[in-house]
Amino acid sequence: MSDPSVTDWISAISSALATLVAGVAAFLAYKQYLQPPVQEPEPDEAHADTVETGHAEVVVFRTPKQKTYFKITERGLECHLDDGRPNKGGHQWTLSKVQVQKIRESGDYSVDPGFRARSGTFSLGPRKNWLYSKALFPEPDYLRGTLVDLLERASNA
């Protein structure tokens, strides 16, 4: 039997590197796509949140540390974020009555329940991918109806 040639060594090294690259790629794929998302733990006490679209404030997202809600004002539809961390939260954005009317007429709003157990996303015109709580809106159609109601009331306010 003859000694291994340079091509045999190169072939063995390239096979080992290909195996290493495949292992790293599998690990990264697991971390990025297959590992369940990390979410805040369930609160110890239940929140009695109900969504009542007839009131001035509609909560769409709630965790123990944050709350996102809409308010209808004379300026239009405002989005606010209450956050327990210092210097976070407050008024996020306002859709003017003209913007609200255009969104309503064009149907430029959507709800995506996504894959997460506790939250999905929604979009209102230029405001894309805002979180909502599935505990508040278990069915995407429920949130979609609430958004339509908010748009109608904000355009007539």
Q: Per residue in 133-151, pLDDT tens?
A: 999 999 999 999 999 999 9
Selected from 3.30.70, 2.30.29, 1.20.1540, 2.60.120, the CATH number assigned to the domain covering 57-156 reads 2.30.29
pLDDT tens digits, 73-117: 999 999 999 988 777 788 899 999 999 999 999 999 999 999 888
pLDDT tens digits, 50-65: 444 445 789 999 998 8
pTM of the model: 0.62
SS3 string, the chain, reads CCCCCHHHHHHHHHHHHHHHHHHHHHHHHHHHHHCCCCCCCCCCCCCCCCCCCCCCEEEEEECCCEEEEEEEECCEEEEEEEECCCCCCEEEEEEEHHHHHHHHHHCCEEEECCCCCCEEEEEECCEEEEEEECCCCCCHHHHHHHHHHHHHHHHHC
Q: Where are the domains of the chain?
A: 1-35, 57-156
